[in-house]
Amino acid sequence: MFRLRSIAVCLFALTSAVTLAQQALNNDAVVKLAKSGIGDDLVVATVNAQPGTYSLTTDDMMSLKKQGVSDKVIAAMIAKANAPAAPVAGGATPAIAGIDEVGVYYKDRNGSWVAMAPEIVNYKSGGVLKSFASQGIIKQDKNGHIEGDSAKLAVTKPVDFLLYVTEGTAPAEYQLLKLRPSNGKSREFRSQTGGVIHNSTGASRDDIEFTATKVATRMYQVTLPTSATPGEYGILPPGAITSSNAASGGKIYTFKVLE
């Protein structure tokens, strides 16, 4: 009879441990484990293995002692409470719903992040004669051209974008650009100024200042400035200009702002 009673007590203790291990632990959960007859080693192992939120003021620890929690278990609770947060495995970026790869995203009307499809942009150099005459001291301008008269994505203000950048890339390396119609068949922008002589018609003509707020590792949220008027726009990622000679190509994330 005594043996059966001992087995029953052990089974009850193990059942209690399994049940509590399936939920986040707290002071009350540890007291239940201690009172169930489970040995200190198993209680400590449970505290170390499971997430927990503990209150460990002087009064709390005195209360734990009065309720039968050993010094060994209380020490494990203190160590767990003071342990730093575990790093994300493999250095992965913290998950944000809808974002799974490097790129540019916009927030739709439902508040979900949606990936923007890039368009191809082709560049043509300007100011060639000036560059040659100055022996390269004055750099050539880069004029970006995008086929089609309008972006497929249409948005209304306010609208938020999210830049998921590559390791080592800063949001300031991106450009928010105003696109201008070209012959009714394409859009264009000035992407690189040619120098002091060109400043009035350089990149500042189409570049729009913006503020980027970090929301996660390598993720930055950008709100379209209220000063942005209806029309065509593009977000140009760094490295989009692939060559400094003749024609080159790259990509740009385009959108249209409606009235």
pLDDT higher than threshold 80 for residue 206: yes
Burial of 136 (0-12, 13-18, 19+ CB in 10 A): exposed
Strands (E), 194-247: 207-208, 212-216, 219-223, 231-236
How do the domains of the chain map onto residue ranges? 2-82, 103-257
Gap between the Cα atoms of 21 and 38, Å rounded? 13
Gap between the Cα atoms of 133 and 155, Å rounded? 45
Token pair belonging to 41: 């080693």
Token pair belonging to 108: 């739709």
Beta carbons of 61 and 74 less than 8 angstroms apart? yes
- Model confidence pLDDT, tens digit, residues 47-67: 888 888 888 888 888 999 999
pLDDT higher than threshold 80 for residue 238: yes
Beta carbons of 44 and 67 less than 8 angstroms apart? no
Beta carbons of 205 and 216 less than 8 angstroms apart? no
Quick one: DSSP state of residue 189? Answer: E
Q: Give the pLDDT score at 182.
A: 87
Tell me the residue type at 105.
Y
Token pair belonging to 189: 């922008």
In sequence order, the β-bridge partners of residue 251 are 120
108-111 long-range contacts, Cβ below 8 Å, gap at least 24?
none
As a whole number, the mean pLDDT across the chain is 77
Q: What is the dihedral of CA 154, 155, 156, 162, to 10 degrees?
A: -160
pLDDT higher than threshold 60 for residue 164: yes
Q: Give the pLDDT score at 89.
A: 47
Tell me the residue type at 233.
Y
pLDDT higher than threshold 60 for residue 148: yes
Mean predicted confidence (pLDDT) in 170-190 = 91
Token pair belonging to 256: 């249209």
Q: Which residue has the higher pLDDT, 15 or 228?
A: 228
| pLDDT over 90 percentage in the chain | 40
- Model confidence pLDDT, tens digit, residues 10-28: 444 444 444 444 567 899 9
